[in-house]
Structure 1
Amino acid sequence: MSDDQPTPTTAGYPWAPPDGTTASGPAAPVPYDAGIGHPTPAGAPYSRGYPTAPAPTGYPSPPTYPYGPGYPPAHGPVAYPGPRPYDGFAIAGFVLSFVGAVVLSIIFGVLGLVRTKGGRARGRGLAIASLVISSLWFVVGIGLVIYGATLGPVSTYTVGDCVRLSADADAGLDEGDAPTLPKVACSEPHNAEVYAAKNLPSGSYPGLDRVEQETFAYCESEYARFVGVPYDDSRLGFFIVYPEQIGWYTGDRKIACIVTAPEDVTSTLRGSAR
């Protein structure tokens, strides 16, 4: 085997002659790769044996949103719908229960319970309170009716009735009470007589002070018509009987005017001019 081998003609291979010559003459200069510190074969398209990445041209532009630059808003009616409103029926039932409108407050209270079931609206506590308060009103009303029935009618008098007024009854009248006075025949000893009476208009109770004022004005105006002289010129007196609130709820609307004598009489006081 001969030792004479042909000299490689391709530049840059490791078996190239160290002096850089070839069989046909000096080899072309080999470019130097500063990145790896040794020459790169001539015509080699890559450095270090890897493809060269294209140079970056800049970062991509940030995405745009319909809300303007930056991130979309984190809060809003879609993300956080806000507190639930109060139910109107529950509020109305609660208010009506305080003014004594029992029927309406019960109806609105029941509707409020239905509409607030499952947390669909606020106000369930108000609906429950309206039902409780209305029930208390109902119980109180029943109690007043029963109590008024046990007292009996306050004013059952008619004009011309003679009554016996005791000292205890007179004291009770001064305190605002209106007891049922025992009727007697006008020929028997008595000291009082009914001289005027009428019914007040129906409706809600006007209040104790107003009823008392209206009754007094009516009785004062009717005094002279029965006795025969004005009250200011008379030696007799009078007292009034009118319904209080309990009697009003039991149906009593009647007011009565009763003339009184300082001593017992056995005849009518009509036209006595005393």
Structure 2
Amino acid sequence: MSLIRPLKNVRTAAAAGAVGAVLALSACGGVAEDLQETADEMEEQASAAEESGEVDADVFEVAVGDCLNDESVAEDQEVAEVPKVSCDEPHDSEVYAETEMEASEWPGDAGVDEEASAFCEQEFASFVGLEYAMSELQLSYYVPTEDSFASGDRAISCLIYDEAGQTTGSLAGAAR
């Protein structure tokens, strides 16, 4: 079972406290107004995430069957947490397969991508019911960085998503 920590609320409370301190000390109204707007936006985002049941999950703890709202995570961006949501809610992607890398020494970014791509494509058909090359659905993956690999991380997590937008429910057996 994944350890899920609702860190958005903790960050928002800390950020709001910091903004309040700056507001109290600031003699510049423009800066204070900008900071207050930023704090208000962060609070609104946290409230929306809380209402949707979204929580930040440790990327090392995501598991097959987890659904994520990770569209905002840029390709090649290092992440420690991902927004996890119930698969019954609209979501960006779903973890459909996992494995441990075979390499005992860092194979380089290209080697990691090659192993992840091969594994995720192989597992795609058994999950969706259609070969990846024939599917309208896409795949992606979370893989170790060189630093996390050096610390013992070997996990590859395969993700499936629809480029058309969020889905509700699992894509298992979607055959499209």
Shorter-chain TM-score bucket reads 0.5 to 0.7
2:89 equivalent in structure 1: 188
2:116 equivalent in structure 1: 215
**1:177 aligned to 2:77?**
yes
1:239–1:257 contact (8 Å) kept in structure 2: yes
Which structure's relative contact order is higher, taking Cα pairs within 8 Å and 6+ residues apart? 2
For the residues of structure 2 that align with 1:157 and 1:197, how far apart are their CA atoms?
Answer: 10
1:155–1:255 contact (8 Å) kept in structure 2: no
Matched letter for residue 265 of structure 1: T
Paired-residue identity, %? 36
For the residues of structure 2 that align with 1:250 and 1:153, how far apart are their CA atoms?
Answer: 16
**1:264 aligned to 2:166?**
yes
Per-residue deviation at 1:203?
A: 2.6
2:59–2:82 contact (8 Å) kept in structure 1: no
**1:158 aligned to 2:63?**
yes
Bigger helix share: 2
1:67 equivalent in structure 2: none
Aligned residue pairs, count: 118
Question: CA offsets per residue over residues 9-37 of structure 1, 9 Å max, x none?
Answer: xxxxxxxxxxxxxxxxxxxxxxxxxxxxx
For the residues of structure 1 that align with 2:138 and 2:103, how far apart are their CA atoms?
Answer: 29
2:58–2:82 contact (8 Å) kept in structure 1: no
For the residues of structure 2 that align with 1:257 and 1:240, how far apart are their CA atoms?
Answer: 4
C-alpha spacing 1:153/1:162, structure 2 compared with 1 (3 Å): closer
Q: For the aligned residues, what is the CA RMSD?
A: 1.9
C-alpha spacing 1:254/1:234, structure 2 compared with 1 (3 Å): same
TM-score by length of 1: 0.40
| 1:30-49 mapped onto 2 (5 Å cutoff) | none
For the residues of structure 2 that align with 1:232 and 1:155, how far apart are their CA atoms?
Answer: 28
Answer with 241-250 or 197-206: which moved more.
197-206
1:153–1:252 contact (8 Å) kept in structure 2: no
Aligned counterpart in structure 1 of residue 144 of structure 2, from 210, 230, 243: 243
TM-score by length of 2: 0.61
SS of 2:130's partner is: coil
| 1:47-62 mapped onto 2 (5 Å cutoff) | none
Query: What residue ranges of structure 1 are gaps of 5+ in the alignment?
Result: 1-151
For the residues of structure 2 that align with 1:165 and 1:196, how far apart are their CA atoms?
Answer: 17
Instruction: Specify the structure having the higher radius of gyration (Cα).
Output: 1
C-alpha spacing 1:154/1:185, structure 2 compared with 1 (3 Å): closer
Question: CA offsets per residue over residues 153-172 of structure 1, 9 Å max, x none?
Answer: 65432111111122x31xx2
1:228 equivalent in structure 2: 129
SS of 1:257's partner is: strand
